[in-house]
């Protein structure tokens, strides 16, 4: 056909338009990309749900989730509606644009460009502010749950007479609502003003009126709302004074009202509230008056009043009324602070008992006898002997013990405990299968006597080996959940696990229902995405029965199922009813207890053991608190990971509030098993918080508290050079007036800026005791050397210098163990084990024991007396410190009837021989009991042995004074003076 009109012949080509097939492919890829992104976001949510369901705490997940969703939806919607409505209203109130000024003409192009997209812009702006507000509100889920479930404290604040629950549960929620209201008012005001300006309601440079009547009324109402909210803020600020923190130079950190607050700030806030209400009404009145003259005057008056009444007037009161007589003015408020703080930290029942530091017993032999029963001196320092456990009981490189071991009680005796946990870095060949399928668990609990070592200075293990044998009998030894287990494992499927190695490899397959099943392809895909490990999806090592274990550390699991609890830094293991259970102390806290001074948990609970060791750091939901209770005891089964929460403090209103919010998550105290109760103890972090508060709040007289003349401090740990606080020590001991030893947690105090001993505190830490939790505080009234002084004197002994020189010459390191302090007959006994570790040795051994007895008795004007000795074992050290082996005067000859003669020295020799025979029999009985693993008989034999050795020592001393022949050899003793039992279990 001819070419007409110059058009090319043939069909036209559509340039740039993809084919239908390509469009379909692109659309499919786009949909798949969106689905993939959605699945990635969904995977985290789904795996969390599966985990909570696996530990049977799904109600915690759903309650938290729905609370967050509800807050997000409600407050996001409110914010979006508030801003969107005011934008819409400003648009509806726009003036007609008949007379265009230069300003409006320049804005016209923006209006024209925006016109086709008005609805979309409005939706976008409201959606954006709604998302931001909703996300912020969802983070307040704890505040909402505490407000809606709040339980009364039954205690009223001394200023306003309101229940403490108002400050702890209500006030934080009201403050959030107020902050939300301010944000809504400000955003609405900005959005409305911009809209009015864009559409001519506001004119900045145009001649004539700057705002239309409609814009004036609209913006005035928004400003009125803002000022009304400020009035509410002034009113709430009145109550906020009761929980306000400030720096009070006389006492440091301070919470609550002082004189200037009660007599200046409080009336000022009330006056400002009234002024703000009037000012808000003036703004609202512009709906009728259509002028800003009065509202602006009122607002200026409010600002001026805030400066004069809220700032200048309190400063004048402080300067001219308080400072000239501050102590008298502040005394009533200091008393309120003291009372509230002591009650908030559960130290209100602690009253210092005067303890002179002067020995009430002068007879050396009596002091020596009393020293034997004053305490079970723990020579095995759990902070030092971990390498010893590691070397002697690790057995395989892929096992490990924690850096700091734990102290517990077994059969009534202080025992050092460590679990042989998995060390993923010690696996011989690292790969994905070995890391997550083959090496999955640790094996066995290792126990050692806390008061004994063998002849070499090594621990005396009462449970040891692989598998372990000893005093525990039969129990589930596999440890799938532990402090060192921070990687996931996949168990129970086709791939066998290494159980332990003994004459070849033993394998096992996990049969418990712990963890999440991976039998479902969907679950495998979700975990492959959540853990960024695609092999989980397609690996042949995963099949029917496979389960994935994660979130495996005890503190991590408790924090997850109870996100409202603060977790103690030291989770410790105990063998209970044939299972290894991790025991975790947990706290409820608030920072809204009126008048109670705040403390920072992270700083207060730090000591020489926690610094640089995050594993022992407290897990705090809020770091600044002014109320704390050890309200929950939690357990985590080391084999199946079961988490159990027990109500411990049955009176705590904060715990009751959370139990209302999360019903059926905390079991009753009565459900605690008797065997478990034997191992519960007073928690360290709670004790550290209380001791820090008691450095100041042991003083209850306002005048003395103000002067700070009796302020204490927690001393630095004298056994290291880091300058960190000495940790509290668990120790079975007797306090003055006690007839039997109690398992206790102890600490010392020194006066501010001085090294001498200012106080000593112990708490009954045995949960089975009727006096559990009773804090005993001794105020030392005389000048008694403190821990640093005792350590300094020890370091200056010639025998110590010789020992250190010899050890250094042998290329050995010296490590000082825990410096234990024990009240004894009016004075104080310090006991410190000393360890040495050679260059070629992999672990420290107990080599010496230092003992110091300090007595503040000062006859004839002498300086403070104290005797410090450095011996091979505890028995020798106690004998030396009291001088019982070398009495200064011969024993008194007894009076005899006429015609008789005094018993010859041979009778003392007979006593000595009988004592040695008794000691040998007790030693043999102990060895026989040890072989049978009869621990009750073994303990009895050890007690009989100690008594026989003491009789032998006394008889030997008498023979020395009479010149009798040397006694026969006694059984070989360990470092504590007891016969050596070796290191076996």
Distance CA(592)–CA(964), nearest Å, equals 74
β 742-751/759-764 pair status: antiparallel
Distance CA(209)–CA(216), nearest Å, equals 11
| pLDDT score recorded for residue 107 | 65
Over range 605-627, report the average pLDDT: 81
Pick the more confident residue, 172 or 110: 172
- Is 563 in a helix, a strand, or coil? coil
| pLDDT score recorded for residue 934 | 66
Shortest CA distance to 917 belongs to which of 957, 976, 970, 960?
970
- Per the rule left: phi > 0, alpha: psi between -120 and 50, beta: everything else, 733 is beta
| pLDDT score recorded for residue 900 | 33
Distance CA(355)–CA(827), nearest Å, equals 9
Distance CA(970)–CA(951), nearest Å, equals 12
Residue 961: pLDDT above 50? no
Supply 528's token pair.
Answer: 């492959």
Over range 266-274, report the average pLDDT: 94
Over range 484-491, report the average pLDDT: 93
Residue 267: pLDDT above 80? yes
Across 96-100, 594-598, 722-726, which has the greatest mean pLDDT? 594-598
- Is 700 in a helix, a strand, or coil? coil
**pLDDT band at residue 903 using 50, 70 and 90 as cut-offs:** very low
Residue 200: pLDDT above 90? no
Supply 620's token pair.
Answer: 């705090």
What is the pTM (predicted TM-score) of this model? 0.84
Q: Are 824 and 854 in contact (CB under 8 A)?
A: no
What are φ and ψ of residue 447, in 5° steps? -120, 145
Query: Residue 587 pairs with which residues in a beta bridge?
Result: 566
Query: Residue 453 pairs with which residues in a beta bridge?
Result: 459
Q: Are 857 and 346 in contact (CB under 8 A)?
A: no
Start-to-end CA distance of the chain, whole Å, equals 109
| pLDDT score recorded for residue 613 | 67
Pick the more confident residue, 530 or 505: 530
Over range 673-682, report the average pLDDT: 95
Quick: pLDDT tens for 793-828: 998 889 988 888 888 777 788 889 999 999 999 999
Q: Are 759 and 350 in contact (CB under 8 A)?
A: no
- Is 115 in a helix, a strand, or coil? helix
- Is 730 in a helix, a strand, or coil? strand
Distance CA(12)–CA(15), nearest Å, equals 9
Q: List C-alpha distances in Å: 200 to 100, 103, 195, 227, 448.
A: 9, 9, 8, 26, 85
Residue 370: pLDDT above 60? yes
Cis ω before 467 (30° cut-off from 0) = yes
Query: Residue 625 pairs with which residues in a beta bridge?
Result: 599
| pLDDT score recorded for residue 723 | 75
Worst-scoring range by mean pLDDT, 294-298, 326-330, 538-542, 879-883? 294-298
**pLDDT band at residue 892 using 50, 70 and 90 as cut-offs:** very low
Quick: pLDDT tens for 728-740: 999 999 999 998 9
Distance CA(448)–CA(389), nearest Å, equals 9
Q: List C-alpha distances in Å: 787 to 53, 262, 352, 790, 826.
A: 51, 43, 20, 5, 17
What does DSSP assign to residue 463? E
What are φ and ψ of residue 457, in 5° steps? 95, 10
Provide CB contacts within 8 A for 547, sequence distance 6+: 490, 491, 492, 493, 510, 513, 514, 515, 516, 517, 518
What are φ and ψ of residue 446, in 5° steps? -105, 130
**pLDDT band at residue 117 using 50, 70 and 90 as cut-offs:** confident
Which burial class, exposed, middle or buried, applies to 766 when counting CB atoms under 10 A from its CB (0-12, 13-18, 19+)? buried
Quick: pLDDT tens for 429-470: 999 999 999 999 999 999 999 998 888 888 999 999 999 999
Q: Are 631 and 647 in contact (CB under 8 A)?
A: yes
Quick: pLDDT tens for 540-570: 999 999 999 999 999 999 999 999 999 999 9
Residue 588: pLDDT above 90? yes
What are φ and ψ of residue 840, in 5° steps? -90, -5
Quick: pLDDT tens for 139-173: 999 999 999 999 999 999 999 999 999 999 999 99
| pLDDT score recorded for residue 948 | 73
Q: List C-alpha distances in Å: 488 to 528, 816, 861.
A: 12, 38, 68
Angle at 383 between CA 632 and CA 450, to 5 degrees: 85
Q: Are 380 and 344 in contact (CB under 8 A)?
A: no
Quick: pLDDT tens for 58-80: 999 999 999 999 999 999 999 99
Q: H or E stretch including 764?
A: strand 759-764
| pLDDT score recorded for residue 963 | 46
Q: What is the DSSP string of 509-568?
A: ---S--SEE--SHHHHHHHHHHTT-THHHH-TT--TT-EEE-S-SHHHHHHHH-TTSEEP
**pLDDT band at residue 939 using 50, 70 and 90 as cut-offs:** low
Worst-scoring range by mean pLDDT, 277-281, 306-310, 743-747, 748-752? 306-310
Shortest CA distance to 136 belongs to which of 174, 169, 177?
177
Q: To the nearest whole number, what is the mean pLDDT of the chain? A: 85
Over range 266-275, report the average pLDDT: 93
Worst-scoring range by mean pLDDT, 8-12, 590-594, 878-882? 8-12
β 775-780/353-355 pair status: parallel
| pLDDT score recorded for residue 956 | 60
Across 98-112, 253-267, 333-347, which has the greatest mean pLDDT? 333-347
| pLDDT score recorded for residue 619 | 83
Worst-scoring range by mean pLDDT, 191-200, 209-218, 398-407, 581-590? 209-218
Cβ of 545: how many Cβ atoms within 10 Å? 15
Place of tokens 């209850």: 700
Angle at 659 between CA 657 and CA 664, to 5 degrees: 165
């Amino acid at each position: 056909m001819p070419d007409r009109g110059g058009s090319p012949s043939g069909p036209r080509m559509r340039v740039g338009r993809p084919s239908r097939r390509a469009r379909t492919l692109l659309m499919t890829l786009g949909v798949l990309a969106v689905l993939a992104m959605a699945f990635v976001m969904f995977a985290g949510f789904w795996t969390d749900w599966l985990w909570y369901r696996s530990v049977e705490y799904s109600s915690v997940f759903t309650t938290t989730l729905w609370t967050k969703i509800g807050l997000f939806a409600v407050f996001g919607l409110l914010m979006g509606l508030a801003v969107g409505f005011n934008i819409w209203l400003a648009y509806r109130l726009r003036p007609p644009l008949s007379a265009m000024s230069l300003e409006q003409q320049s804005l016209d192009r923006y209006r024209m460009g925006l016109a086709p997209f008005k609805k979309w812009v409005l939706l976008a702006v409201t959606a954006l502010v709604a998302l931001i507000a909703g996300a912020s509100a969802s983070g307040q889920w704890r505040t909402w749950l505490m407000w809606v479930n709040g339980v009364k404290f039954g205690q009223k604040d001394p200023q306003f007479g309101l229940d403490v629950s108002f400050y702890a549960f209500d006030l934080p929620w009201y403050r959030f609502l107020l902050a939300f209201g301010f944000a809504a008012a400000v955003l609405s005001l900005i959005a409305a003003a911009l809209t009015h300006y864009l559409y001519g309601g506001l004119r900045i440079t145009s001649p004539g009126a700057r705002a239309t009547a409609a814009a004036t009324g609209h913006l005035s109402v928004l400003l009125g709302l803002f000022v009304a909210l400020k009035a509410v803020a002034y009113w709430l600020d009145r109550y906020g004074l009761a929980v306000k923190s400030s720096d009070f130079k006389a006492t440091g950190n301070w919470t609550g009202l002082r004189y200037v607050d009660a007599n200046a700030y409080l009336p000022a806030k009330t006056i400002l509230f009234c002024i703000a209400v009037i000012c808000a009404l003036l703004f609202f009145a512009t709906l009728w008056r259509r002028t800003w003259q009065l509202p602006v005057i009122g607002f200026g008056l409010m600002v001026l009043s805030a400066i004069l009444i809220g700032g200048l007037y309190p400063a004048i009161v402080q300067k001219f009324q308080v400072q000239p007589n501050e102590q008298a003015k502040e005394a009533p408020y200091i008393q309120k602070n003291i009372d509230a703080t002591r009650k908030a930290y559960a130290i209100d029942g602690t009253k210092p008992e005067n303890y002179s530091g002067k020995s009430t017993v002068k007879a050396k032999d009596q002091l020596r006898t009393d020293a034997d029963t004053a305490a079970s001196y723990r020579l095995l320092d759990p902070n030092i002997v971990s390498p010893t456990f590691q070397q002697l009981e690790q057995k395989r490189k892929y096992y490990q013990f924690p850096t700091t071991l734990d102290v517990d009680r077994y059969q009534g005796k202080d025992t050092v405990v460590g679990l042989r946990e998995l060390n993923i870095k010690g696996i011989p060949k690292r790969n994905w299968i070995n890391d997550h399928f083959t090496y999955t668990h640790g094996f066995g609990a290792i126990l050692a006597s806390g008061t004994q070592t063998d002849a070499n200075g090594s621990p005396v293990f009462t449970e040891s080996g692989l598998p372990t044998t000893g005093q525990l009998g039969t129990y589930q030894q596999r440890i799938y959940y532990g402090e060192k287990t921070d990687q996931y494992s996949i168990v129970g499927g086709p791939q066998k696990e290494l159980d332990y190695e003994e004459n070849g490899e033993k394998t096992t397959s996990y049969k418990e229902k712990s963890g999440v099943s991976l039998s479902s392809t969907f679950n495998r895909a979700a975990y492959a995405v959540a853990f960024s490990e695609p092999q989980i999806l397609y690996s042949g090592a995963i099949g029917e029965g496979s389960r994935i274990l994660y979130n495996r550390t005890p503190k991590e699991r408790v924090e997850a199922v109870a996100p409202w609890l603060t977790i103690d830094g030291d989770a410790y293991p105990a063998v209970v009813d044939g299972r290894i259970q991790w025991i975790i102390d947990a706290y409820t806290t608030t920072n809204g207890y009126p008048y109670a001074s705040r403390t920072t948990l992270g700083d207060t609970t730090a000591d020489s053991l926690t610094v640089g060791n995050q594993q022992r750091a407290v897990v705090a939901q809020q770091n600044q608190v002014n109320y704390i209770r050890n309200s929950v005891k939690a357990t985590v089964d080391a084999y199946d990971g079961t988490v159990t929460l027990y109500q411990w403090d049955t009176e705590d209103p904060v715990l009751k509030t959370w139990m209302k919010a999360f019903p059926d998550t905390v079991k009753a105290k009565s459900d605690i098993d008797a065997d478990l109760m034997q191992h519960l103890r007073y928690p360290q972090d709670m004790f550290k918080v209380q001791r820090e508060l008691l450095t100041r709040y042991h003083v209850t007289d306002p005048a003395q508290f103000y002067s700070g003349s009796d302020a204490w401090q927690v001393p630095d740990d004298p056994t290291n050079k880091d300058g960190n606080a000495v940790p509290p020590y668990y120790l079975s001991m007797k306090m003055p007036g006690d007839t039997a030893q109690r398992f206790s947690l102890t600490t010392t105090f020194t006066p501010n800026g001085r090294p001498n001993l200012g106080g000593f505190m112990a708490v009954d830490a045995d949960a089975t005791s009727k006096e559990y939790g009773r804090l005993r505080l001794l105020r030392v009234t005389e000048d008694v050397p403190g821990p640093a002084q005792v350590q300094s004197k020890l370091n200056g002994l010639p025998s110590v210098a010789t020992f250190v020189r010899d050890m250094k010459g042998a290329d050995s390191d010296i490590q000082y163990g825990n410096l234990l302090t024990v009240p004894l007959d009016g004075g104080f006994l310090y006991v410190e084990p000393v360890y040495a570790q050679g260059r070629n040795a992999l672990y420290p051994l107990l080599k010496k024991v230092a003992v110091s007895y300090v007595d503040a008795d000062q006859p004839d004007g002498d300086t403070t007396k104290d005797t410090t000795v450095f011996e091979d074992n505890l028995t020798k050290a106690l004998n030396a410190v009291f001088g019982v082996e070398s009495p200064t005067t011969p024993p008194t000859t007894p009076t005899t009837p006429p015609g008789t003669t005094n018993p010859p020295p041979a009778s003392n020799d007979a006593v000595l021989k009988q004592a040695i025979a008794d000691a040998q029999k007790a030693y043999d009985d102990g060895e026989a009991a040890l072989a049978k693993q009869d621990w009750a008989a073994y303990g009895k034999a050890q007690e009989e042995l100690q008594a026989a050795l003491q009789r032998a020592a006394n008889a030997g001393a008498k023979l020395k004074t009479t010149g009798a022949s040397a006694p026969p050899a006694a059984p070989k003793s360990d470092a504590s003076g007891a016969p050596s039992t070796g290191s076996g279990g």
